[in-house]
Protein backbone atom coordinates (compact mmCIF):
# COMPACT_ATOMS: atom_id res chain seq x y z
CA UNK A 1 0.00 0.00 0.00
CA UNK A 2 1.23 3.50 -0.77
CA UNK A 3 1.94 5.81 2.13
CA UNK A 4 1.32 9.55 1.92
CA UNK A 5 3.20 11.77 4.38
CA UNK A 6 2.69 15.50 4.91
CA UNK A 7 5.87 17.24 6.10
CA UNK A 8 5.97 20.63 7.84
CA UNK A 9 9.10 22.76 8.30
CA UNK A 10 9.05 26.01 10.29
CA UNK A 11 12.30 26.04 12.28
CA UNK A 12 13.67 29.38 11.08
CA UNK A 13 12.38 31.79 8.44
CA UNK A 14 10.93 29.50 5.76
CA UNK A 15 7.43 28.09 6.04
CA UNK A 16 7.26 24.89 4.04
CA UNK A 17 4.90 21.96 3.44
CA UNK A 18 5.61 18.89 1.33
CA UNK A 19 3.81 15.72 0.32
CA UNK A 20 5.55 12.42 -0.34
CA UNK A 21 4.10 9.23 -1.76
CA UNK A 22 6.43 6.68 -0.15
CA UNK A 23 9.84 8.16 -0.97
CA UNK A 24 8.63 10.00 -4.08
CA UNK A 25 8.20 13.76 -4.01
CA UNK A 26 4.72 14.99 -5.01
CA UNK A 27 4.91 18.58 -3.74
CA UNK A 28 7.36 20.84 -1.90
CA UNK A 29 6.05 24.36 -1.30
CA UNK A 30 8.18 27.00 0.40
CA UNK A 31 7.12 30.50 1.49
CA UNK A 32 10.20 32.65 2.14
CA UNK A 33 10.00 35.57 4.53
CA UNK A 34 11.43 38.67 2.87
CA UNK A 35 10.73 40.86 5.89
CA UNK A 36 14.07 39.92 7.56
CA UNK A 37 16.08 41.51 4.75
CA UNK A 38 15.44 44.95 6.26
CA UNK A 39 16.99 43.90 9.58
CA UNK A 40 20.17 42.16 8.42
CA UNK A 41 19.14 38.84 10.01
CA UNK A 42 16.16 36.77 11.12
CA UNK A 43 13.99 38.57 13.69
CA UNK A 44 12.42 35.77 15.77
CA UNK A 45 9.13 37.48 16.54
CA UNK A 46 8.56 38.49 12.93
CA UNK A 47 9.40 34.94 11.83
CA UNK A 48 6.79 33.45 14.19
CA UNK A 49 4.15 35.86 12.95
CA UNK A 50 4.92 35.14 9.31
CA UNK A 51 4.76 31.36 9.95
CA UNK A 52 1.38 31.81 11.61
CA UNK A 53 0.16 33.69 8.56
CA UNK A 54 1.67 31.33 5.99
CA UNK A 55 1.18 27.86 7.37
CA UNK A 56 -2.42 27.12 6.30
CA UNK A 57 -2.06 28.55 2.75
CA UNK A 58 1.24 26.70 2.29
CA UNK A 59 -0.31 23.36 3.33
CA UNK A 60 -3.26 23.97 0.98
CA UNK A 61 -0.88 24.72 -1.87
CA UNK A 62 1.10 21.55 -1.18
CA UNK A 63 -2.02 19.35 -1.10
CA UNK A 64 -3.26 20.94 -4.33
CA UNK A 65 0.09 20.53 -6.06
CA UNK A 66 0.22 16.88 -4.94
CA UNK A 67 -3.35 16.46 -6.16
CA UNK A 68 -4.54 14.68 -3.03
CA UNK A 69 -6.99 15.46 -0.23
CA UNK A 70 -6.07 15.63 3.44
CA UNK A 71 -8.03 12.42 4.08
CA UNK A 72 -5.46 10.50 2.02
CA UNK A 73 -2.58 11.52 4.33
CA UNK A 74 -1.32 8.67 6.55
CA UNK A 75 0.81 10.75 8.95
CA UNK A 76 2.07 14.27 9.55
CA UNK A 77 5.76 14.91 10.26
CA UNK A 78 7.01 18.22 11.62
CA UNK A 79 10.32 19.81 12.66
CA UNK A 80 10.59 19.57 16.43
CA UNK A 81 14.02 21.31 16.60
CA UNK A 82 16.58 22.68 16.60
CA UNK A 83 15.43 26.17 15.68
CA UNK A 84 13.69 29.28 16.97
CA UNK A 85 11.11 28.39 19.59
CA UNK A 86 8.34 30.68 18.36
CA UNK A 87 8.82 29.42 14.79
CA UNK A 88 8.88 25.77 15.84
CA UNK A 89 5.73 26.16 17.96
CA UNK A 90 3.73 27.23 14.90
CA UNK A 91 4.63 24.05 12.98
CA UNK A 92 4.30 21.80 16.04
CA UNK A 93 0.89 23.17 17.00
CA UNK A 94 -0.38 22.94 13.45
CA UNK A 95 0.85 19.33 13.18
CA UNK A 96 -0.75 18.36 16.49
CA UNK A 97 -4.11 19.80 15.44
CA UNK A 98 -3.93 18.19 12.00
CA UNK A 99 -3.02 14.79 13.44
CA UNK A 100 -5.76 14.92 16.06
CA UNK A 101 -8.50 16.08 13.73
CA UNK A 102 -7.71 13.36 11.17
CA UNK A 103 -6.82 10.66 13.69
CA UNK A 104 -3.42 10.05 12.06
CA UNK A 105 0.03 9.62 13.64
CA UNK A 106 2.18 12.62 14.59
CA UNK A 107 5.91 12.28 13.82
CA UNK A 108 8.63 14.54 15.23
CA UNK A 109 11.71 15.20 13.12
CA UNK A 110 15.17 16.53 13.98
CA UNK A 111 15.92 19.27 11.42
CA UNK A 112 19.64 18.39 11.08
CA UNK A 113 18.95 14.69 10.54
CA UNK A 114 16.36 15.65 7.96
CA UNK A 115 18.95 17.68 6.02
CA UNK A 116 20.94 14.43 5.72
CA UNK A 117 18.00 12.18 4.89
CA UNK A 118 16.99 14.61 2.11
CA UNK A 119 19.44 12.54 0.05
CA UNK A 120 16.87 9.71 0.02
CA UNK A 121 14.07 11.75 -1.60
CA UNK A 122 13.09 10.08 -4.82
CA UNK A 123 13.28 12.91 -7.34
CA UNK A 124 14.48 12.33 -10.87
CA UNK A 125 16.95 15.21 -10.57
CA UNK A 126 18.54 13.83 -7.38
CA UNK A 127 21.58 11.58 -7.64
CA UNK A 128 21.42 7.96 -6.43
CA UNK A 129 20.81 7.31 -2.73
CA UNK A 130 23.94 7.14 -0.59
CA UNK A 131 24.96 3.69 0.60
CA UNK A 132 25.60 3.11 4.31
CA UNK A 133 27.91 3.88 5.95
CA UNK A 134 28.60 7.36 4.67
CA UNK A 135 29.89 10.67 6.00
CA UNK A 136 27.91 13.88 5.70
CA UNK A 137 29.16 17.43 6.04
CA UNK A 138 26.02 19.18 7.29
CA UNK A 139 26.44 22.91 6.91
CA UNK A 140 23.67 25.38 7.62
CA UNK A 141 23.06 28.78 9.14
CA UNK A 142 23.11 27.43 12.68
CA UNK A 143 25.18 24.23 12.50
CA UNK A 144 28.34 22.76 11.01
CA UNK A 145 28.85 19.06 11.61
CA UNK A 146 30.56 16.01 10.21
CA UNK A 147 28.20 13.11 10.78
CA UNK A 148 28.85 9.39 10.38
CA UNK A 149 25.67 7.73 9.15
CA UNK A 150 25.41 3.96 9.61
CA UNK A 151 21.69 3.74 9.04
CA UNK A 152 18.68 6.09 8.71
CA UNK A 153 18.59 6.39 12.48
CA UNK A 154 22.14 5.59 13.52
CA UNK A 155 23.92 8.92 13.19
CA UNK A 156 26.97 10.06 15.12
CA UNK A 157 28.35 13.60 15.11
CA UNK A 158 32.14 13.16 14.86
CA UNK A 159 33.05 16.83 14.41
CA UNK A 160 31.32 20.18 14.84
CA UNK A 161 31.92 23.89 15.10
CA UNK A 162 32.98 25.27 18.45
CA UNK A 163 31.64 28.75 17.61
CA UNK A 164 30.02 30.08 14.40
CA UNK A 165 28.47 27.85 11.75
CA UNK A 166 29.72 27.92 8.13
CA UNK A 167 26.51 29.65 7.00
CA UNK A 168 27.00 32.25 9.70
CA UNK A 169 30.56 32.82 8.47
CA UNK A 170 29.19 33.54 4.97
CA UNK A 171 26.40 35.75 6.32
CA UNK A 172 28.63 37.70 8.74
CA UNK A 173 31.31 38.25 6.09
CA UNK A 174 28.60 39.51 3.74
CA UNK A 175 27.27 41.85 6.42
CA UNK A 176 30.75 43.30 7.00
CA UNK A 177 30.90 43.91 3.23
CA UNK A 178 27.55 45.71 3.39
CA UNK A 179 25.61 42.99 1.53
CA UNK A 180 21.99 42.21 2.54
CA UNK A 181 20.88 39.11 4.52
CA UNK A 182 21.25 36.23 3.82
CA UNK A 183 24.67 36.95 2.35
CA UNK A 184 25.71 33.36 1.57
CA UNK A 185 24.00 33.13 -1.83
CA UNK A 186 25.25 36.63 -2.76
CA UNK A 187 28.87 35.85 -1.92
CA UNK A 188 28.49 32.67 -4.00
CA UNK A 189 27.26 34.72 -6.97
CA UNK A 190 29.96 37.40 -6.70
CA UNK A 191 32.70 34.81 -6.07
CA UNK A 192 32.07 33.33 -9.51
CA UNK A 193 33.65 36.43 -11.10
CA UNK A 194 36.52 36.85 -8.61
CA UNK A 195 40.02 35.57 -7.96
CA UNK A 196 40.21 33.10 -5.06
CA UNK A 197 43.85 33.97 -4.43
CA UNK A 198 43.43 37.76 -4.32
CA UNK A 199 43.33 37.97 -0.51
CA UNK A 200 44.59 35.50 2.09
CA UNK A 201 42.77 34.87 5.34
CA UNK A 202 44.10 32.70 8.16
CA UNK A 203 42.88 29.15 8.84
CA UNK A 204 41.98 28.16 12.40
CA UNK A 205 44.10 25.60 14.21
CA UNK A 206 41.51 23.43 15.94
CA UNK A 207 42.28 19.85 16.95
CA UNK A 208 40.38 16.77 15.76
CA UNK A 209 37.42 17.11 13.43
CA UNK A 210 36.01 20.28 14.96
CA UNK A 211 35.68 23.64 13.21
CA UNK A 212 35.94 27.29 14.17
CA UNK A 213 34.84 30.26 12.09
CA UNK A 214 34.83 33.16 14.54
CA UNK A 215 38.51 33.99 13.89
CA UNK A 216 37.86 34.31 10.17
CA UNK A 217 35.08 36.81 10.82
CA UNK A 218 37.40 38.88 13.03
CA UNK A 219 40.25 38.81 10.53
CA UNK A 220 37.93 39.94 7.71
CA UNK A 221 36.63 42.73 9.94
CA UNK A 222 40.12 44.00 10.84
CA UNK A 223 41.46 43.61 7.31
CA UNK A 224 38.61 45.65 5.83
CA UNK A 225 38.77 48.25 8.59
CA UNK A 226 42.47 48.85 7.74
CA UNK A 227 41.88 48.90 4.00
CA UNK A 228 38.96 51.31 4.30
CA UNK A 229 41.21 53.78 6.13
CA UNK A 230 43.35 53.96 2.97
CA UNK A 231 40.53 53.80 0.44
CA UNK A 232 36.87 54.27 1.35
CA UNK A 233 35.85 52.48 -1.86
CA UNK A 234 37.96 49.39 -1.15
CA UNK A 235 35.03 47.01 -0.66
CA UNK A 236 33.13 48.23 -3.69
CA UNK A 237 36.24 47.98 -5.90
CA UNK A 238 37.17 44.51 -4.66
CA UNK A 239 33.74 42.95 -4.06
CA UNK A 240 34.19 39.99 -6.37
CA UNK A 241 37.77 39.20 -5.28
CA UNK A 242 36.84 39.54 -1.61
CA UNK A 243 33.87 37.22 -2.10
CA UNK A 244 35.96 34.65 -3.99
CA UNK A 245 38.75 34.72 -1.37
CA UNK A 246 36.37 34.48 1.60
CA UNK A 247 34.38 31.68 -0.02
CA UNK A 248 37.58 29.81 -0.88
CA UNK A 249 38.81 30.09 2.73
CA UNK A 250 35.53 28.78 4.19
CA UNK A 251 35.49 25.87 1.72
CA UNK A 252 39.12 25.01 2.44
CA UNK A 253 38.44 24.95 6.20
CA UNK A 254 35.50 22.60 5.60
CA UNK A 255 37.27 20.35 3.09
CA UNK A 256 40.39 19.99 5.23
CA UNK A 257 38.38 18.47 8.07
CA UNK A 258 36.30 16.38 5.71
CA UNK A 259 39.50 14.88 4.23
CA UNK A 260 40.70 14.16 7.75
CA UNK A 261 37.38 12.46 8.58
CA UNK A 262 37.66 10.29 5.46
CA UNK A 263 41.21 9.28 6.31
CA UNK A 264 40.35 8.52 9.96
CA UNK A 265 37.19 6.52 9.25
CA UNK A 266 38.23 4.97 5.94
CA UNK A 267 34.76 5.85 4.62
CA UNK A 268 34.96 7.33 1.13
CA UNK A 269 31.26 7.86 0.55
CA UNK A 270 30.75 11.50 1.36
CA UNK A 271 27.65 13.67 1.21
CA UNK A 272 27.01 17.36 1.83
CA UNK A 273 23.74 18.75 3.20
CA UNK A 274 22.19 21.95 4.58
CA UNK A 275 21.91 25.47 3.19
CA UNK A 276 25.64 25.92 2.54
CA UNK A 277 25.64 22.75 0.41
CA UNK A 278 23.93 24.97 -2.18
CA UNK A 279 27.24 26.81 -2.56
CA UNK A 280 28.68 26.30 -6.03
CA UNK A 281 32.28 26.42 -4.79
CA UNK A 282 31.66 23.70 -2.20
CA UNK A 283 29.85 21.57 -4.76
CA UNK A 284 32.79 21.91 -7.14
CA UNK A 285 35.29 21.14 -4.35
CA UNK A 286 33.41 17.88 -3.68
CA UNK A 287 33.47 16.95 -7.37
CA UNK A 288 37.20 17.76 -7.55
CA UNK A 289 37.87 15.60 -4.49
CA UNK A 290 35.89 12.78 -6.05
CA UNK A 291 38.09 12.98 -9.13
CA UNK A 292 41.32 13.32 -7.16
CA UNK A 293 40.77 10.92 -4.26
CA UNK A 294 38.11 8.55 -5.56
CA UNK A 295 35.42 9.67 -3.12
CA UNK A 296 31.88 8.76 -4.04
CA UNK A 297 30.15 12.08 -3.48
CA UNK A 298 26.48 12.90 -2.96
CA UNK A 299 25.33 16.43 -3.65
CA UNK A 300 21.65 17.24 -3.05
CA UNK A 301 19.43 18.96 -5.56
CA UNK A 302 19.41 22.72 -4.75
CA UNK A 303 15.76 22.62 -3.65
CA UNK A 304 16.67 20.07 -0.93
CA UNK A 305 19.85 21.86 0.22
CA UNK A 306 18.26 24.89 1.86
CA UNK A 307 15.38 24.51 4.31
CA UNK A 308 12.41 22.60 2.90
CA UNK A 309 9.63 20.32 4.13
CA UNK A 310 10.40 17.47 1.71
CA UNK A 311 13.33 16.51 3.95
CA UNK A 312 10.97 16.48 6.95
CA UNK A 313 8.51 14.29 5.06
CA UNK A 314 11.16 11.73 3.99
CA UNK A 315 12.42 11.45 7.57
CA UNK A 316 8.80 11.11 8.65
CA UNK A 317 8.31 8.33 6.12
CA UNK A 318 11.19 6.26 7.55
CA UNK A 319 9.89 6.83 11.07
CA UNK A 320 6.38 5.86 9.94
CA UNK A 321 7.73 2.51 8.72
CA UNK A 322 9.24 1.95 12.19
CA UNK A 323 6.05 3.05 13.96
CA UNK A 324 8.03 5.76 15.74
CA UNK A 325 5.30 8.26 16.64
CA UNK A 326 5.17 11.30 18.94
CA UNK A 327 2.54 12.11 21.53
CA UNK A 328 0.42 15.25 21.74
CA UNK A 329 2.45 16.48 24.72
CA UNK A 330 5.73 16.78 22.81
CA UNK A 331 7.54 20.14 23.12
CA UNK A 332 9.95 21.58 20.50
CA UNK A 333 13.64 21.92 21.41
CA UNK A 334 15.84 24.83 20.34
CA UNK A 335 19.35 23.30 20.46
CA UNK A 336 20.72 20.31 18.60
CA UNK A 337 19.91 17.02 20.28
CA UNK A 338 21.61 13.85 19.13
CA UNK A 339 18.42 11.99 18.37
CA UNK A 340 16.21 11.28 15.36
O1 LIG B 1 19.86 24.97 6.07
P2 LIG B 1 19.50 26.39 5.89
O3 LIG B 1 18.59 26.76 4.73
O4 LIG B 1 18.84 26.97 7.19
C5 LIG B 1 19.31 26.58 8.46
O6 LIG B 1 18.98 25.47 8.89
O7 LIG B 1 20.11 27.39 9.01
O8 LIG B 1 20.87 27.22 5.77
C9 LIG B 1 20.86 28.62 5.64
C10 LIG B 1 22.29 29.09 5.45
C11 LIG B 1 22.44 30.60 5.48
O12 LIG B 1 23.53 30.94 6.30
C13 LIG B 1 22.72 30.95 4.02
O14 LIG B 1 23.51 32.11 3.84
C15 LIG B 1 23.47 29.71 3.58
O16 LIG B 1 22.79 28.64 4.19
N17 LIG B 1 23.45 29.54 2.12
C18 LIG B 1 24.55 29.66 1.36
C19 LIG B 1 24.13 29.48 0.01
N20 LIG B 1 22.78 29.27 0.00
C21 LIG B 1 22.39 29.31 1.32
N22 LIG B 1 25.84 29.88 1.68
C23 LIG B 1 26.74 29.93 0.68
N24 LIG B 1 26.41 29.77 -0.63
C25 LIG B 1 25.13 29.56 -1.01
N26 LIG B 1 24.82 29.39 -2.30
ZN1 LIG C 1 18.41 23.96 7.79
Give me the pLDDT at residue 339, please: 52
Predicted pLDDT at 234: 98
**Which residues in the chain are classed under CATH 3.30.420.40?**
4-121+305-322, 134-299
Q: What is the 3-state secondary structure (H, E, C) of 92-115?
A: HHHHHHHHHHHCCCEEEEEHHHHH
Q: What is the pLDDT of residue 265?
A: 98
Q: How far apart are CA 287 and CA 292, in angstroms?
A: 9
* Distance of alpha carbon 148 from alpha carbon 299, whole angstroms: 16
Instruction: Say if ligand 1 is within 6 A of residue 275 CB.
Output: yes
Tell me if 12 CB under 6 Å of ligand 1.
Answer: yes
DSSP output for 270-337:
EEEESGGGG-HHHHHHHHHHHHHH--EEE---GGGTSS-SHHHHHHHHHHHHHT--B-TT----SS--
Q: In 117-189, where do the E strands start and end? A: 134-139, 144-151, 154-160
232 C-alpha vs ligand 2 centroid, how far in Å? 36
CA of 140 relative to ligand 1 center, distance in Å: 5
pLDDT in the model for residue 340: 46
Report whether residue 215 contacts ligand 1, using a CB cutoff of 6 Å. Answer: no
Q: pLDDT of the chain along its 340 residues, tens only?
A: 999 999 999 999 999 999 999 999 999 999 998 888 888 889 999 999 999 999 999 999 999 999 999 999 999 999 999 999 999 999 999 999 999 999 999 999 999 999 999 999 999 888 789 999 999 999 999 999 999 999 999 999 999 999 999 999 999 999 999 999 999 999 999 999 999 999 999 999 999 999 999 999 999 999 999 999 999 999 999 999 999 999 999 999 999 999 999 999 999 999 999 999 999 999 999 999 999 999 999 999 999 999 999 999 999 999 999 999 999 999 999 998 765 4
134-299 CATH fold: Nucleotidyltransferase; domain 5 (3.30.420)
Give domain 4-121+305-322's CATH superfamily: ATPase, nucleotide binding domain (3.30.420.40)
Amino acid sequence: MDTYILGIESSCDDTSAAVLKNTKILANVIANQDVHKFYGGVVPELASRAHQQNIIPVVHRALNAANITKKQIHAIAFTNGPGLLGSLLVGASFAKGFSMSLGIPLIEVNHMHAHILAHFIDDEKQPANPEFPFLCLTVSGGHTQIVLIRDYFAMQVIGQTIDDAAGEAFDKAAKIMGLPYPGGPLIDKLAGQGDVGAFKFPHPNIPGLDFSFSGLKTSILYFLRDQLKEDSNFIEKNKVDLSASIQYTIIEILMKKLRKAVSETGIKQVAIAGGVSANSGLRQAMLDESEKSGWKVYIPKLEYSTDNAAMIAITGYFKYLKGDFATQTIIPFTRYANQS
